[in-house]
Amino acid sequence: MSDSEPRFVRVNLVLPVSDMKSARDWYARALGFETVYLHDDPVEDPEGNYAILRRDGAEVHLILDEPPRQHPWTAAGTGYLFLTVDGLDAVFRHARESGIAITRGIKLEDWGARAFQLTDPSGNLVLVAEEG
């Protein structure tokens, strides 16, 4: 590949959260994500202000909403996470059995995917979909 033909390798979604510990715990309990990196300060920010969560080939980054904000996108509750999975019914069942509130049950979307929706503790929407 030459210098004139760039290749995009990965995209990382960064979701703003109001409480890092509760967000990390929720993503682990609801969807099985594991924290693989936590940027923290033992004195000023022991719960961390940035985290990377991973499950299988999916990666979600969390950033703590820390006013005053430099950018409006870092306000907790403004994010929307779209996860594509194989085995939607099992993911739905796991979330429900873990006591996670389901914002919207499984339905067939206009574009042909089956999907359900959750809302994380910070108010970010999470759509979990399986392509048809």
Kindly tell me the burial class for residue 42, based on how many C-beta atoms sit within 10 Å of its own C-beta (0-12, 13-18, 19 or more). exposed
Which domain does 78 fall in, by range?
13-130
Rg (CA), the chain: 16
Is 8 within a domain?
Answer: no
Percentage of residues of the chain with pLDDT beyond 90: 78
Is 7 within a domain?
Answer: no
Is 2 within a domain?
Answer: no
- What pLDDT was estimated at residue 9? 87
Is 44 within a domain?
Answer: yes
Cis peptide before 16 (omega within 30 of 0): no
27-36, pLDDT tens digit by residue? 999 999 999 9
Residue 55, domain CATH = 3.10.180.10
Is 31 within a domain?
Answer: yes
Is 49 within a domain?
Answer: yes
Is 3 within a domain?
Answer: no
- What pLDDT was estimated at residue 2? 60
What's the number of domains the chain is made of? 1
- What pLDDT was estimated at residue 1? 54
Rounded to the nearest integer, the mean pLDDT of the chain is 94
42-91, pLDDT tens digit by residue? 887 889 999 999 999 999 999 999 888 888 889 999 999 999 999 999 99
Percent helix, strand and coil across the chain, each to the nearest 5: 20, 40, 40
Is 24 within a domain?
Answer: yes
Per the listing, tokens 């999916």 go with: 58
